[in-house]
Amino acid sequence: MPNELNLKTAALEKISHLDYFNIAISVDCVIFGYDNKELNVLLIKSDLEEFSGLYSLLGDLVRPDEDLERASYRVLEDRTGMEDVYLEQVHTFGTTGRHPSGRVITTAYYSLIDVTHHKFNLNHNDLHWHAVKDIKKLAFDHKLILNTCLQRLRSQIMEHPVVFNLLQDKFSLRELQELYEAILDVKLDRRNFRKKIAVKDWLQDLNEMETNLSHRPGKLYGLKEQYKIKGTNTLA
């Protein structure tokens, strides 16, 4: 926070105040989607020469009159057409060398979206889903950002009912379990998984069954209304 003393120090060092505005701030969104039993992330081909052939996360500079979160929502809505998505701030990356064209500090958010939602619509030909498991290298420090967000997501899912933002409104317990398995990259025991979920009391039994399967259908569940909280988890 710039208080008197700090700015005095700056003045003594003959640093013009304008220098402090030579840093740009951006947001980067790690947009997770779930499809075909895989956790995916939305990437775009990098347009920087330095990173030609590499993909990068979706991000943008923050506008001077725009909240950090608003900026993330803007990126999300612009790129995917989705509003009211789940969004959570994870970490801010601010090493000096991280952007080749200048000083850019970026705040990373992760977001969970239901790829089957009727509003979901990619606005750009170069936007593609990539299986998180298969991503080896990304432009900038985006691999680090992705890892950090994935780690955060993993630590959230047993504590908070967030993964439902990746699913349609109705789902079977098998689908839910497959989703957990995809995110955590582990195999789970069906009975223990159900017990654990049951104890959390997140789900509403919809008294409906799966349809169009070539085997016994499972019951369908939905997330209880009270847990349908979107947006960021702002504290206190």
Partner DNA sequence: AATTAATGTGTAATAAGTACATGTTGTGTA
Partner DNA sequence: TACACAACATGTACTTATTACACATTAATT
Q: What is the binding site for DNA (CB under 7 A)?
A: 172-174, 189-192, 194-196, 199, 209, 211, 213-219
52 forms part of the interface with a copy of itself (CB under 8 A): no
SS3 for 166? helix
The window from 88-96, 163-171, 175-183, 188-196 that contacts a copy of itself (CB under 8 A) reads 88-96
Q: Given candidates 64, 136, 215, 225, which one binds a copy of itself under the rule CB under 8 A?
A: 64
Shortest spacing between CB 24 and a copy of itself, in angstroms: 5
Strands across the sheet with 219-223, in order? 171-172, 219-223, 203-209
Structure tokens, 159: 């504590």
Provide the H-helix boundaries in the chain.
4-12, 68-80, 142-156, 173-184, 190-200
**Shortest distance in whole angstroms from residue 54 CB to a copy of itself:** 11
Q: Is 1 helix (H, G, I), strand (E, B) or coil?
A: coil
What, of DNA, a copy of itself, none, does residue 236 touch, CB below 5 to 8 Å by kind? a copy of itself
The reply to whether 114 sits near a copy of itself by the rule CB under 8 A is no
Tally: H helices and E strands in the chain? 5, 10
Which among 115, 141, 109 is positioned nearest to 128, based on CA atoms? 115
Which stretches of the chain bind a copy of itself, using CB under 8 A?
A: 1-11, 13-15, 17-26, 28, 44, 46-48, 56-69, 89, 91-96, 99, 101, 103-107, 124, 140, 142, 144, 147-148, 151, 235-236
